[in-house]
Every structure is written in structure tokens, then in C-alpha cells.
Amino acid sequence: MKTRKPLLVFDSGVGGLSVLREIRRLLPAAPVVYCADNGGFPYGTKTEAELGARVPALLGRLVERFDPQLVVIACNTASTISLAQVRAVLNVQVVGTVPAVKPAALISRTRVFGVLGTPATVRQAYVDNLVREFASDCLVLRHGSAELVAMAERKLRGLPTPLPEFRAVLDGLLSQPGGERLDTIVLACTHFPLVKEELMAVAPRPFQWVDSGEGIARRVAYLCQGVEWEGPPSGLAVFTRADEDVHFLTTALRSFGLDRIVTL
């Protein structure tokens, strides 16, 4: 099937770019609309009610405006809270992002692993259910960090991100009882793979790091089997609030193939 319909990739900020990177590897010809809800950022410190009201309504507007082939909610916080609601109101396929608990349980040798997400994600029943279903024989430590989200945003704006701050975030996991046996860390926020290098640099010992990006890209590629995109690949970044600060992101957005920026 030939089409010009783009993939719509959605997050509160730059985090979804870590998912977009994996999607681009598998589907280099797909036109992309990347939406960062900077008007609602950060999601990780918001309530379920706030996000439940905001995310489905905003995605509804975006789908109406850009008529995408498929929507990717490249955000663990939005997905674990409102994926079902979004699917119920949109008449387009929606791929969500959920913490990679299952892959972590498959590779952890010590049977102790960590889930590093936003404060909102780590308290979700969705995560309890993943742990019950896939990691019932593991000790799963959780830590929510809004600071690490802010640090990833700073990094992509080219601002300084001191390494000791990353160590403090890791200590939030490692200082919990059982932390000394932890061998695997799930990056359960799409912002976090963007600062994986820094986390690895301050880690007191080597860990296995797991995130959902590749799995999501494979799912998107599977759902797009038979789709042939016409025209040159294009990338548009959409922000929900006009903000001077967005200009600092121009270089980073370009490096992900997003060469035009608009406000919704």
C-alpha cells in the first residue's frame, strides 16, 4: 500500500527521540511527525487524573491534524496511565511503551533488578502486573526520578550535566535493601536511554541495561508491513507551546532527522 501518512511519535519532551532512533533504523523511509508536549512537561510528577485528561485529548487533536498511519506513545508514563483510554478514543493503531520488565527478568542472573522510571510510572499498577506476570521470582527495586528526566532535557539542549548528579540517581536504586545484588537496570522512561552513557560512566560496577526502544521499533515495523512511503523521508517536530527554549533543541532534533519545527 502506497501512502504519505506519517508515523506520529509522541512524548512529553525529548525522551521519545530514543524510540524514534530505533524506528528510523528499521523504517528509514517513513515520514515522521514527532510531538513533544512541552506545554504539559513534565509528565512524571503529574497525577493520573491530570494525564488521563490531557493525553487522550491531545492525541485526538494530533491525529485529526496529521492523519498518521500509526501512533507511537513513546512515553512510559503516558502509556502506563492512559494507553487503554487512548486506544478507546482513536481510530488508528496505537503502540505504547511499557517498562521492559519481561526482558530484564529473562536476563537477570542474580534475580534482582531495578526499574528506573518517573515517579508516576514506578507507582503504577501496570508495573505491579508486569512484575507479577513476568518476574515473580525476582526482587524488583523501583526508583522514580524526575531529576533524570530534567538532566536528559538539559543534555539535548547542550547544557552541562554534572556526573555526580547521575550517581545520586543510581544510588536511589542501589541503596535499597538488596541493591548490592542488583545486576540489571530497566530504563523505564524514554528520556533515560539518552543519558545511558553518563549512567554507565558513574555505575559502581557493570550492569545490564534494558529499555523498550528496539522492541517498539520491531512492533511498529511489523504493523507497517506492506506500507510503502511515497516521497523523500521527512521529519517534523511539533511542540504544544511556543517557547524560546525550543531553539536550543534545533541541533539535537536535526540529528534525529527532524528538520522542521512548528507549534501546535
Catalytic residues: 75, 189
Q: Is 58 in the site for ligand DGL (CB under 6 A)?
A: no
Cα dist. 257→25, 170, 214, 237 in Å? 12, 31, 18, 9
Q: Is 43 in the site for ligand DGL (CB under 6 A)?
A: yes
Q: Which three cell numbers stand for residue 171?
A: 544510588
Closest CA to 170 of 114, 119, 103: 114
Residues in 13-32 at the binding interface with ligand DGL, rule: CB under 6 A: 13, 15
Minimum distance from residue 167 beta carbon to ligand DGL (Å): 20
Site stretch for ligand DGL (CB under 6 A), options 12-20, 177-185, 201-209, 224-232: 12-20
Q: Give the DSSP H/E element, type plus range, for residue 9.
A: strand 7-11
Site stretch for ligand DGL (CB under 6 A), options 39-47, 99-107, 216-224, 247-255: 39-47
Nearer to ligand DGL, 5 or 95 (CB): 95
Cα dist. 45→64, 129, 158, 176 in Å? 28, 21, 24, 22
Cα 151 from chain centre: 15
Nearer to ligand DGL, 5 or 211 (CB): 211
Residues within the interface to ligand DGL (CB under 6 A): 11-13, 15, 41-44, 75-77, 118, 121, 149, 189-191
